[in-house]
Structure formats: structure tokens, C-alpha cells
Structure 1
């Protein structure tokens, strides 16, 4: 049995084409990753702009997502995030009810929203916390309020950080 030696030697064009294919695939992957990054960044900007609109023109039942570490100095390490609900607006004063639950992670807060925990009768405390509108805007500027949402018939979604 004799082996044809021309089959064992690579064709002179095969390495050139494999390099071209490699470059095309690498470029495609890099373009896809860049597109994904730009999309995610644009989505974060749109969410921030929408939150800013809700902060500037609050309505009753708006939800504020709070990073409580920036609001209080007496926090336990796993008590980071909390939700507040606008219950009244009187002139320049915005009244909030805080949620009764602290969340250690951003994702656990998101899971509670998507699971419908906000609908429970005792989710929000009965204590009222009054803030001037300028204080709310300052809290948003300092990221103590990191998102504001206006509930509607559609689901509330927040982009993960």
C-alpha cells in the first residue's frame, strides 16, 4: 500500500485562508462584544434619564430604590438596599414610606420586586419620612437614590449593575 505524498503536504493556500478566516472570526467576536457593551451602556443611560424625570416630577406611588449605606452611618454590612414609596406630595414636601426589608445585594432587591413582594399589605412601614424636593434631588445626585420607577400596568425592570 502506497501513500500519496501530495495528500500529506498542506496546500499552499490553506494556511492563507485559515488566517483570513481566523481574522474574520476574531473581528466578528470583537464587534459583537463592542455592540453588546454599547447596548448595555445606552440602556443604563436611558434608565438614568427616566429616573431623573421621575425625580424632577414626582407622583404618588413612585418607587425610589435606595442605597441605604449612603443615607445612614449606622448600618449593618448586609443592610444595603431598600425601597421607598412616595405616598404624598404637598407643595415642596415629598412624603415617603420605607420598605420594611433591607436587602444585602442589588439582585435580591430586584428579585423581591419581580416576585411581587411590594404588593403585600405590610411591606411598607406606616412611618412617614418627609423630604424637601431639593433633598430628594440631592439624594439622587449622590446615588443614595440610584433609581426611580413609576409603576404602571407593565412590569418594573431595572438593569443589573
Structure 2
């Protein structure tokens, strides 16, 4: 038999059975079944409670009413804590600045607000960095950076990106300030921050040019003794070490080493391990100056202003007669000695 005929026969069989079942259901049974089906959802609806939600914007959350005071107190305490931490940090930086300026060391860095020092500046010329390049008695020599910065935090960026390691980052012109003048700059707000490197590093970056740490292997009489004196001088707070430093500088100076002579003069100038004597200090500065050692010439000019009867013009004349080129001192801020320098230079040119 074909498949289509088989399927038709099966359909007819199921259809006849469904018809027989439908005939067995009475009209009354059909109505009861319909009523039961329609009644089930109604009963389910009656069992579910009905809620009517309303939102009253004028009525705040009861939890907020109960804890409102506590929340306000917590917010106030947080604001006070944040403000206090900021003020305390500023206080620490101010104290750090005062301490560093009160006891300066070589390579100390100052953040300077130049608007306090000068008035005729461009809008973008606000902050500069300064570095302590020399200390002679109570006179501190600093060099300003060649660049101005618009905001204070940009000075930190200059350190972060190691701009200070370049030789020409700081100008060659020297500016001399007494300790009192530096402290007045701090009080006036010109020096807003002072920082002290560790070695040649600050914030993990080089702030002193690498060339400053290069040493020559050439033998020079007195150099070894001078280096030994510098090592002893690091522990100058101990009397024995300071005395050893003085001895080594004395040996170096007598051998004619210019740097040793300057260091010995510094010992007499500061009264370290020896009685303070400005005259002896000038003598050793002068001996180093005759060798055309520039730091000695600049230091002599500074100390000479503090000694009665010291004639800076005669000193310059002696240097010129000895063949020492003193043109570089024009870059130095020798202040009262500038006219004497020009006079000595003119007289020397006339004689030659």
C-alpha cells in the first residue's frame, strides 16, 4: 500500500476516536468544565494583595532623619582632616626651607618667585630656580637658572626630567647674598622652597652635572692631601677630624696646590679647628689667586669687603701684573668692588 494511503488511514482512525470521545461529553459537563476554567484566575487574583504606592517628595527618608547629625559631623571631620593635612604639609615645607637657608650647603636648590624681586617681568616670567655654588664666610653665592617658569610645580618637573644635569641650565653670573639677605628673601616670600640634594641626586634624578664629579688621574703635588682633608672635613663636627682636615689642607697649601690653599683659607675664615683669622684667610686666598684660580679671586673680593684696610684695587693690579686674566669677574656680583676692578683694569692697560 502506498505511504500516502497508510497516513490517510491512520488519520481517519484517530479522527473517529476523537469524534466518539466528543460525543460522550454531555452539554452539562461541558458547561461545568468551562466554569472551572474561568473561575481559576479569579480565585488567584483574589488571593494576591493589592498595594497602591505613592511617592511623597516632602517626606525625607527616616534613616536620614535619625542619622542626619552624625552624617554632618563626619563630613565636617573629613573636611577638617584634609585641610589640616594640607596645612601641616605646608608648615613642614616652610620649616624645611628656613632650616636649609639658615645653614646653606653647596648645591642647595631654591625655588624663587621672581615677581617679589623684580616688577618689570613678562606675564610668563614668574619662577626661577637658584643653586648655591659657593659659600665664603657668611656670604652665599647663587646662580639662577637660565629659564623662567610659569608655575611653581614646573620646577619639580625640571628636576624630574633631569634638566639640571646640563651645564648651561644655570647662568654663569654669580649673585652674592649675606645670610641675613637670604633669610629676608624667605620672609618676603621670594624663596618659596629650599631643597637639598643627597650627593648629586634629588627625587631619583641627577641635579648636579656629572662633570663636577670627574677626577683626573694626573699626579699633582698637594692634590692627594687636599682630597684627604675634604674627607676629614665631612666629619668636622668631631674635633679630631676637623684638626686632621686642617693639617691636610696645610700640607696641600704648602705644596702650592690652589684648591688646598682655598680650603685652608676657608678654615681660617670660618674658624674651623683654628682661631678665626681673616688676615690669614686673605693671604691664602691671594696665593691661590696668583695661580689664576678663579674661585680664590672671587672669594678674596668678598672677604676683602669685611676687612678694614683691604684695598681691592691693589689686589686687582697685582693680578694683572702677574698676567692673570680677571675679565671673568665681570660675571660676578662683587657689588662695591666693581668700580675698583674697572679702575685696576684700565690702569693695567695704560701701563702695558
The answer, yes or no, to whether TM exceeds 0.5 is: yes
Match of 1:35 in 2: 81
Which structure has greater helix proportion? 2
- 1:1-161 map, 5 Å: 1=45, 2-4=49-51, 15-152=61-198, 153=201, 155=203
Q: Root-mean-square deviation (CA), in Å?
A: 2.3
Number of equivalences: 152
Shift of 1:136: 0.7
1:79-114 per-residue CA deviation (whole Å, 9 max, x = no partner) reads 000000001100011000111110011222232222
TM-score of the two chains, using structure 2 as the length reference: 0.40
Distance 1:9 1:73, change over 3 A: closer
Which structure has greater strand proportion? 1
Asked if 1 retains the 8 angstrom alpha-carbon contact of 2:116 and 2:190, the reply is yes
1:37-95 per-residue CA deviation (whole Å, 9 max, x = no partner) reads 00110111011001100011101110111000111132112100000000110001100
Any stretches of 5+ residues in structure 1 without a counterpart? 157-161
Distance 1:15 1:100, change over 3 A: same
TM-score of the two chains, using structure 1 as the length reference: 0.83
Cα distance in 2 between the residues matched to 1:21 and 1:149:
47
State the structure with more CA Rg: 2
1:15-52 per-residue CA deviation (whole Å, 9 max, x = no partner) reads 43232344433332221111010011011101100110
RCO higher in 1 or 2 (8 Å CA, sep ≥ 6)? 1
Cα distance in 1 between the residues matched to 2:138 and 2:102:
11
Distance 1:19 1:120, change over 3 A: farther
SS for the counterpart of 1:122 is: helix
SS for the counterpart of 2:197 is: coil
